[in-house]
Amino acid sequence: MEEWLLYVIIAAVVVLASSWFLRPTKAAPVKAPVAGVKAEKAAAATKPKKEFYTAEEVAQHSSGDDCWIIIEDKVYDVTSYVNEHPGGDAILNNAGGDSTTGFLGDQHPIERVREMIEEFYIGKLQK
């Protein structure tokens, strides 16, 4: 092979290789906000501002992504806490209904959970 042809091939390989290494890379993706913070903000934004709720209204919120519970005639929107609950889906046993018995069960250190639940209070149960 002609010597000059060899140089041309080597030069071509060097150019191709360096253009591969110097190619523009994708910009780092913008970090999504932490899910919990997002859920809290969403909950705060949609927090209903009524004094009383009927049992029928509470019953409309009976799923893992929209969960209200009644404890001692008070209504709590615990939606943002469902995925953080150390007791898992047990919090959904009476979603949309009266959860007093479950909440006051032996599994809970009662002083602590009584403080925690106040964050989720939205109103009283209409009797």
Note the residues at the interface with ligand HEM (CB under 6 A). 69, 78, 81, 85-87, 90-91, 93, 99, 102-103, 107-109, 113, 116-117
The two structure tokens encoding residue 70: 């009644």
Find the shortest distance in angstroms from Cβ 17 to ligand HEM. 57
The beta-strand segments (E) located in 11-120 are 52-53, 62-63, 66-71, 74-77
The DSSP H or E segment spanning 67 is strand 66-71
- Measured from each CB, the residue nearest to ligand HEM is 87
| Smallest distance, ligand HEM to C-beta of residue 51, A | 21
Rank residues 60 and 93 by Cβ distance to ligand HEM and give the closer one.
Answer: 93
Tell me phi and psi for residue 96, to 5 degrees. 80, 5
